[in-house]
Structures are given as structure tokens and as C-alpha cells.
Amino acid sequence: MKSSLYPPQRDVASSGAADRTSASAAESRWNDFARIDPYTYIMTHLPQGDREAFWQSGETTISQELLPVVRKNAVRLGTALEIGCGVGRLVFPLANHFERVFGLDISSEMVRQATTLAVQKDITNARFFSLADYERRPDDLGLTASSVDFVYSLIVFQHIADFQSIKNYFELIGLLLSCEGVAYLQFDTRPQGFTYRVKNFLPDFMLPRFLRRGIRRIRRSVEELESSFADCGLNIVESLAPSTEYNRFVLRKSGG
């Protein structure tokens, strides 16, 4: 199993340091968000401080969106992995349906809070770890090649500005996903119009809080995603709501 998200075929000397700098900045930013108010920064459209609505939104997403995908694609209810788990909004309700669920997040503070909540909720089959944790000791986490039945990520990749970082996650998915497993990934694939480009050009102090760097939505082209999926050994089974802010891709490993 790879001990790093950074693919061995890349020139680590020229690009690895830049990737780690970008990841470090993103970790610091999301650690700050977690300390300020993780519930609002994760679900920006909910009323600030409404934790009941936050947790209920997770239950609804699991029952109305994720479980139907799992059933439709006959996914084994063994191991699930969420990329960008935050404080466990989706991990906790999904843990009622899978043998074990892993939550991965770039923010060590999100992971700390999620781990504490798991103890408070007496959920014993959920485990949380940061990207740095995985980099340091992947084998200790119990994740091995082809060991994950269901990988999912919602409202996460849309906040990552560096596309190479996203592609690193695709490589991780290709490594961990079982031959019969399924990945379910969401992106904003709306066209990058004039207003969008202007907004991204403006400095943060001129923008509302949730349109600033680190939290704003980054739009991706379908062509770019399709090419990267293929590069990482992932085949598209289905594309839901294409060219929208909530475009989801159902993926399987090539040859699965």
C-alpha cells in the first residue's frame, strides 16, 4: 500500500513541495474554520448555530441519497470511507448501515472534534483520521489496497482550488476501492462564466465570508474530471445532475 497520496511516478522534487505547501495552507484554514464554527462552515446554507438542522441534514442525505446509491449498485456493506468528513455529519448515520466507516479530513481539528463526538454518541465502528495521519502511518489505520467497498465525498471537492490535490485523492480512491466497490463524488460543473471569473479575481476583503478563498466553490469542467478519472483507473458508471452545482459521479475501478 502506498504510504503517501503523492503518486510515485511524479517528480516529487519539483512538485511535491508545492503540493505539501498547498495542503498545509488548506489544513490551517480549515482548522481555523473548525475552531470558529464547524457546523456553519460545513453547511453554510443552514441557520447559524442550528445544530439540530445540521445533524438532521446528515440523516436525510444518508437515507435519501447515499443508501439508494449503495442499494442500486449492490455495494457490500463492509467498509466505507468519506473524504472530507468534517465532524461526522454523514459518518455517524452511515455507521448504522456499514460494518465500519472511516472519516478522512484535511483538518486535524475537525478530526479531533469528530472523534470526541463518536465517544459521546457511543459509536464504536467509526474512526476518523487526518490527511497527515494517513501520510504518517497508513497501515496502522487498517486501510489496505482494495479494502474499501464505498467511497463518497459531498460538498468537499468544490472547495479545493488545487486540482492536483483532487487528483491525488482520485489516486487514493483507485488504490483503496475494492474491485466491486463504488465511489460517489460530487463536483460543481457549471460553466465558468464572466461573473464567476470576476469573483475569483477579487481579493477576499471585497467578498462576503463564504465567497472567500478556501470556502468558495470552485467549478470544474467535466472533460477535466473525466480525463483524470481515467488516468487514475476509475470508470464512470453514471453522472447525476450534469453541468450543475451538484453534479455527482458514480465510479468503479477499471476492470471491476
pTM attached to this predicted model: 0.88
Per-residue confidence (pLDDT) for residue 14, from 0 to 100: 38
Per residue in 148-162, pLDDT (tens digit) is 999 999 999 999 989
Per-residue confidence (pLDDT) for residue 44, from 0 to 100: 81
Report residue 5's pLDDT band, with 50, 70 and 90 as the boundaries.
very low
The overall average pLDDT reported for the chain is 87
Other C-beta atoms lying within 10 Å of the C-beta of residue 198: 9
Find the DSSP H helices in the chain: 17-36, 38-42, 51-61, 67-72, 91-94, 108-120, 131-136, 163-176, 194-201, 222-231
Per-residue confidence (pLDDT) for residue 100, from 0 to 100: 97
Q: Which three cell numbers stand for residue 256?
A: 471491476
- Asked if 62 contacts 70 with a C-beta cutoff of 8 angstroms, the reply is no
Taking residues 126-132, report their average pLDDT: 93
CB-neighbour burial class of residue 46 (10 A; exposed 0-12, middle 13-18, buried 19+): middle
